[in-house]
Amino acid sequence: MTTLLENIGPQDLGRILEAVRKPTHQDKYLHWDQVWNRGAPEGLTHEEWWLGLKWHRTSQYKTIPLIDSSSEPFVFATPEGGHQLMHEITQRASGSVGVSDQVTNPETRNRYLVRNLMEEGIRSSLIEGASTTREKAKEMLRARRKPKDEGEQMVLNNYMAMQYIIDLGRSPLTPEIVFHLHEIITRNTLKDPDAAGRLRRPGERIDIIDPSDNVILHDPPPADQLPDRLIAMCDFANSETPEGFVHPVVRSIALHFWLAYDHPFKDGNGRCARALFYWSMLQHDYWLCQFISISQVILKAPTQYARAFLYTESDGSDLTYFILHQLVVIKKAIDELHRYLDDKVAQRREIERRLRLASLLNERQLDVIAHALRHPNAQYDIRQHEAKFGVVYQTARTDLLGLADKGLLIKRKSGRTFYFDPSPGLERELSALRTSGSQR
């Protein structure tokens, strides 16, 4: 901004600030790449418009201890739209008002927790190019079978990493925890297994390159800086720095960016960064975040995710671009969860309305039958049922055998494993069961 001001007199500056009164345009926090492609306000050049925007942003900037390649701290502003999103996320992710009892009821919450750990593990891996599909990956996790290839191994690692984050509870972040997290995420996937759970070394240079034209997009800090930068990141994560207040959601997003920017490992940095975001949100009592998947949202628009990093780094290390992008991602992830839960509740009510079986089948059995009605060619087994609902083997066995005894599933044996298929006459069997149940 100093360069822009050199040829601007006091009168011109007053004219610019009269035309540009806030750091956003139509509630959008524009980057220069977006400004020059739009029509400037009447009477202003694009450069003058940009100066006005930057003037208002600079007056709002706060710093965090993350240092850029010019030895300057990263900064962020909080425009009006950001305040509104943080308020909404705080209300919806840290309270219980408006939250479905499916995630507050002890009998069903574990099922949704397992589901989301799977979803986030799968989607975060797909962002990084895992060569598998969501369907195959979910089948592997549910069946608890060994990964068949590197893509499935990445998914399993991410799933285990998310479980590790949940299990950490209130533990403060330490370099040792970060190293262990990285070891979990990269287990059996690195060309150099020795690189798991340790920082990059001098000579292990990493450049983030645009594959379309081989242009370097990001040059991470040199390896000799990484130990000190990791300690500084942990201090920030534990709210020890900076001295002023940083909103917990902003702190969590900044932690996500910090690890990705430093790129302290040879591989697995993006997955570690997203996992640390979850750790931070849970530390600050945003409990609902264990049920949402930000990677599911990011995967739908990966270019926007990459652009948020690039805009931050190319505009004076202004972290606002990344913060605003992630605030929208979190909101959309919460919306996705509520839509999913609403659909599940509607399905359950329809089943209960049609079958009147609430007293004859438990919640898990109702879920299986709901799925079987929509997927008549589905196959179920005890281990899969155990993993999906987070119950012990005996409970899973009792559930499925009970459905077979009622004629709703057909039991068959392959090798030493029992499998259960939907009955070909499932609708008829349900009708008969409903009738017998109503006569009791």
For residue 100, being part of any structural domain is answered with yes
Please list the ranges in the chain whose pLDDT falls under 50: 440
In this predicted structure, what is the pLDDT of residue 438? Answer: 52
Whether residue 264 sits in one domain with residue 396: no
Q: Does residue 327 share a domain with residue 382?
A: no
Q: Looking at the structure, do residues 297 and 190 belong to the same domain, yes or no?
A: yes
Alpha carbons 255 and 237: distance in angstroms, whole number: 7
Residue 240 lies inside a defined structural domain of this protein: yes
Query: Which pTM value belongs to this model?
Result: 0.84
pLDDT reported for residue 355? 63
Let me know whether 199 and 304 are in one domain: yes
Residue 351 lies in a domain: no
Residues 151 and 264 in one domain: yes
Q: Half-sphere exposure (CA, 13 Å, Cβ side) for 120?
A: 34
For residue 248, how many C-alpha atoms fall within 13 Å in the half-sphere facing its CB?
A: 17
- Give a yes or no: residue 355 inside a domain: no
Claim to verify: residue 56 and residue 73 sit in the same structural domain: no
Q: Say yes or no: 139 and 254 in one domain.
A: yes
- Which structural domain, as residue segments, surrounds residue 100? 65-339
Q: What is the CATH number of the domain that holds 382?
A: 1.10.10.10
217 in the same domain as 109 = yes
427 shares a domain with 377 = yes
Asked whether residue 354 is domain-assigned, the answer is no
Q: Last residue of some domain: 60, 81, 103?
A: 60
Structural domains counted in the chain: 3
Identify whether residues 111 and 188 lie together within a single domain. Answer: yes
Q: Please indicate, yes or no, if residue 133 is contained in any of the structural domains.
A: yes
Token pair for residue 175? 């370099």
- Does residue 377 sit within a domain? yes
Residues 79 and 44 in one domain: no
Query: In this predicted model, what pLDDT tens digit does every residue of 38-94 receive, in sequence order?
Result: 999 999 999 999 999 999 999 999 999 999 999 999 999 999 999 999 999 999 998
On whether both 183 and 320 belong to a single domain, the answer is: yes
Task: Give a yes or no: residue 200 inside a domain.
Answer: yes
pLDDT at 215: 75
